[in-house]
Structure 1
Amino acid sequence: MKNYLAAALLAMAALGGCASIYTAPPQPGESEAQIVARLGEPTHRYGEGNTHLLEYMTGPWGQATFMARIGADGRLVSYEQVLDTAHFSRIEPGKSTKQDVLHTIGAPSATSYLRLPQLEVWSYPYRESNAWDSVMHVHFDNAGIVRMMQNGPDPRRTPDMAWPLGSRR
């Protein structure tokens, strides 16, 4: 009986940690304090003129990042999931900076560095067209300018790709 009770309490505690993901999204006009009370502390905050952004990442395994834009009056202007084709298309190779990327799609779930071409890579797992497990890789030069973007399947969620040469069968 003790084992069942302990398991039930553990399951309830684990589900409680996920509660903020499944709450109703904040509505325009809500105060920043109301949003933080409901969703918890944001993973990152970004200033942007007289407004600022609250970022809520679900990574590294999650495939969504939510941005809450707070107006100069301290109230919510917009709340949206930003890891999608529409937001990725706002990033311009040769022009966008690391700061632009952070304000557009948030912080990466993973980073790496390619020595030979000298590019820093930020990786963003997401659901392309709400159907495919994908990863968008944003490549920056040493000056912090986007040089290219590369999209592909997420090998962590595609069993045949987890092995270097394809299927392990």
Structure 2
Amino acid sequence: MNVRFHSMLCAAAAALTLAGCTTILRQPPPIGAPLTAVTAQLGQPNAVYPDPAGGQVLEYRGQPMGQFQYMARIGPDGRLVSYDQVLTSENFAKVKVDRWTKDDILRNFGRPAEVSRVYAHDYEVWSYRYKEAGVWNSMMNVHFDAQGVVRQMLNGPDPLYDERFRRW
């Protein structure tokens, strides 16, 4: 890889990472704040998902380069219920293999950093960058079958940060 291309790639990665930081640097509104106050304080979300219990979930994207993703849960009354960084080992442990679907994953974690396939099993894989146990640069890989049901969860080192995966 030539030096100029590498510099451009690093600059683009830094710009994407910093763009996601604007949300995390803002103070979240207090629990119970109306939706208008949430969006006024945090900005427009990157995606909005309906909550089956009523209300909606707002995604404030940190992927594909960041190791965070914030979700604001708005109750049926239009008020903030919670605002959390959701890419944690504890949250990934809540996923129910063979029961959760793509919609459940989107509502809980937002869109992934990467999407790939495992052709041997005909699985679609959504990968999320995160800090495992708050320390290790990791990827959580959520494997879906053809019906969109979670069949497997695997985590491992994030190739972006692991020297063993670098070719330059």
Task: Verify same fold: TM over 0.5.
Answer: yes
- Is the 8 Å Cα contact of residues 50 and 72 (structure 1) preserved in structure 2? yes
Separation in 2 of the partners of 1:19 and 1:68? 15
Q: Deviations over 1:74-111 (max 9, x none)?
A: 11011111111111111111111111111121211110
Q: Percent identity?
A: 42
In the TM superposition, residue 67 of structure 1 has moved relative to its aligned partner by 0.9
C-alpha distance after superposition, 1:21-46 (max 9, x if no partner): 31112220111111111211111111
Whether the 8 Å contact between 1:27 and 1:79 is mirrored in structure 2 is no
TM-score (structure 2 length as normaliser): 0.83
Aligned to 1:45: 48
Which residue of structure 2 aligns with residue 31 of structure 1?
34
Q: Which amino acid aligns with 2:97?
A: P
Deviation at 1:66, TM superposition (A): 0.8
Q: SS at 2:73's partner residue?
A: strand
Match of 1:116 among 120, 130, 136: 120
TM-score (norm 1): 0.82
The structure 1 residue matched to 2:139, chosen from 125, 135, 144, is 135
Could you say what the CA RMSD is over the residues aligned between the two structures, in angstroms?
A: 1.7
Quote the offset at 1:153 in angstroms.
Answer: 0.6
Unaligned stretches of 5+ residues in structure 1: 1-13
| 1:56 aligned partner | 60
Instruction: Describe the SS at the equivalent of 2:24.
Output: helix
Does residue 148 of structure 2 align to residue 144 of structure 1? yes
In the alignment, what sits opposite 1:65?
Answer: 69
Measured in 1, the distance between the counterparts of 2:80 and 2:99 equals 29
Is residue 122–residue 137 contact of structure 1 (8 Å, CA) maintained in 2?
yes
Measure how far apart 1:149 and its partner are. Answer: 0.6
Moved more, 19-28 or 111-120: 19-28
**Offset of 1:159 from its aligned partner?**
2.2
Deviation of the 1:20 alpha carbon: 3.0
What is the Cα deviation at residue 137 of structure 1? 0.2
Residue equivalent to 1:98 = 102
Specify the structure having the higher radius of gyration (Cα).
Answer: 1
- In 2: Cα distance, 1:37 partner to 1:162 partner: 41
Matched residue SS, 2:151: strand
TM-aligned CA deviation for residue 145 of structure 1: 0.8
* 8 A Cα contact 1:85 1:128, kept in partner: yes
5+ long unaligned stretches in structure 2: 1-14
Distance 1:20 1:51 in 2: 21
